[in-house]
Amino acid sequence: MSKILVTGGTGYIGSHTVVELQNSGYEVIIVDNLSNSSIDVLDGITSITGKKPAFEKIDCRDKQDLAGVFKKYSGIEAIIHFAASKAVGESVEKPLLYYRNNLVSVLNILELMGEQNACSLVFSSSCTVYGQPDVLPVTEDAPIKPATSPYGNTKQIAEEIIRDAIHADKRLKCIALRYFNPVGAHPSAAIGELPNGVPNNLIPFVTQTAIGIRDCLRVFGNDYDTPDGSAIRDYIWVTDLAKAHVIAVERLLANKNKKGIEFFNLGTGKGLSVLEILEVFEQVTGVEINRQIVARREGDVEKVWADPTFANKELGWKAETSTEKMLETAWKWEIALTAKRR
C-alpha cells in the first residue's frame, strides 16, 4: 500500500481527494495547518471511507516540521500538494502573504522531495494561468498570459519553479493539474466546501442565498460578449476532479522511467454562464434565487472553458457528471451544514 502525503488534505478539494485515495487503497498522511479548514473534516472522511487518515497539524512553510513528517511516516512515495491560499480578491490586498504561503511551501516540498527521495508530485494549478485565452476551448499549450492577481501569479511562478527543479534533479517528476471551476460536494454530504465568512465563489453564494443566509446574489456583469451577457466558466464536479488525482498518482508511480513535468486541463469542456447556472439550480432545487445584476467584478475573465482532450486521452479520465447532479450535491451539502450549525 503506497503512502501518499496530502498537504491541504482537510481542505475542499483535498478532502474529496483523500476519500478517493483511501477508497483506492492508498495510505494517506494529511498535513494541514487548518488555516482554512476544520479538524472535523477528518470525521467526514472517516464516515465515508471507514478509515481515519493520519493527520499532522503542520504549516508547509516550516521545512523542519515537514521533514519530521517524512521521518515519522517513512516510505512516502508521492506528494499531492494542495496547501495554498486561494482567494483571488484577498491576494490583491495581501500579496506578500500569498507569495510567502504559496511559494515557500512549494520550495520546501521540492527540497524535501530531493532530500527524502520521494520523487513524485501532483501539483494543484489553475486555469487562471491562461488569463483570458484568445482561443476557446483552451488547450494546455495556450500561452500563459500575465496573471490578473497575485494569486494567479503564485500558480504561474510555482509551475516555473517546479519545472526548473525537475530540470536540475532528474529524479523528480510532476503532474500539474490545471483545475477549472470545482463545485459541489460528496454525495453523502459528509464533506463539502466550507467557505470562510462571506463566500467569494458563485456556488456557495448561491446555496447560501437559497437557504436564507444571504438576501440576494449579485450577478457580476451582464454586458460581457456572451449569449446572455453573463460570464462563462467550466464547472466541474469536485469528486470528478478528485478522481483525476488518483489517476495522476498512479501514473507517476507506475512509470518509474517517466520523468519531467506534465500539464493537464481538468474541466468538462462545457462552458456555462452565471445566468445558466442559476436556471439549472432553480430547476433542480425548486428554490428561486433572488438576484441583482451589478457591475463586473474586477479581475474576472469574460469566458473560459477547457479542452480536456489531452487529459481524456492520456489519463483515461473524463468529467462526466451533469451540472444538475453537481448542483444537487452542493444543495444537499448546504442543507446538511445549516442543520449542523443550528
Q: In the range 166-185, which residues lie near ligand NAD by CB under 6 A?
A: 179, 181-182
Say whether residue 94 binds ligand UFG (CB under 6 A).
Answer: no
Task: Report residue 326 as a C-alpha cell.
Answer: 453537481
CB of 179 closer than 8 Å to CB of 236: yes
User: Of residues 91, 116, 120, 126, which one binds ligand NAD by CB under 6 A?
Assistant: 126
Is 203 a binding residue for ligand NAD by CB under 6 A? The answer is no
Q: How far apart are CB 203 and ligand NAD at their closest, in Å? A: 10
Mark out the alpha helices in 55-101 (DSSP H runs).
63-72, 88-93, 95-99
Is 236 a binder of ligand UFG (CB under 6 A)? no
SS3 32: strand
| Closest to ligand NAD by CB, 64 or 292 | 64
Q: With contacts defined by CB under 6 A, how many residues of the chain interact with ligand NAD?
A: 28
SS3 342: coil
Binds 120: which of ligand NAD, ligand UFG, none (CB < 5-8 Å by kind): none
* Contact status: 274 vs ligand UFG (CB under 6 A): yes
The pairing of strands 260-266 and 173-179 is parallel
Residues 54 to 93: which contact ligand UFG by CB under 6 A?
A: 86, 88
Which of 12, 26, 130, 151 does the annotation list as catalytic?
151
User: Whose Cβ is closer to ligand NAD: residue 241's or residue 287's?
Assistant: 241
Return the one option of ligand UFG, ligand NAD, none that residue 300 interacts with (CB less than 5 to 8 A, by type). ligand UFG
Binding mask 116-145 for ligand UFG (x = CB under 6 A): ----------xxx-----------------
In DSSP terms, 79 is beta-bridged to 5, 121
Contact partners, residue 292, CB within 8 Å, separation at least 6:
216, 217, 218, 219
Asked if 251 is part of the footprint of ligand UFG (rule: CB under 6 A), the reply reads no
Q: Among residues 321, 216, 331, 232, which one has the least CA distance to residue 275?
A: 232
In the chain, DSSP finds a helix count (H) and a strand count (E) of: 12, 13
Shortest Cβ distance from residue 21 to ligand UFG (Å)? 21
Q: Smallest distance, Å, CB 209 to ligand UFG?
A: 9
Is 151 an annotated catalytic residue? Answer: yes
Q: Pick from 4, 5, 6, 10: which binds ligand NAD (CB under 6 A)? A: 10
Residue 21, class by beta-carbon neighbours within 10 Å (0-12 exposed, 13-18 middle, 19+ buried)? buried
d(CA 234, CA 149): 20
Binding partner selected for residue 60 from ligand NAD, ligand UFG, none, CB under the kind-specific 5 to 8 Å limit = ligand NAD
CB of 4 closer than 8 Å to CB of 23: no
Kind and range of the H or E run holding 123:
strand 120-126
Q: Please say which residue, 119 or 274, places its beta carbon nearer to ligand UFG.
A: 274
Calculate the alpha carbon distances from 102 to 60, 65, 165, 167 in Å. Answer: 9, 17, 16, 21
Residues that bind ligand UFG (CB under 6 A): 86, 88, 126-128, 179-181, 200-202, 205, 217-220, 231, 233, 274, 297, 300
Positions marked active-site? 151
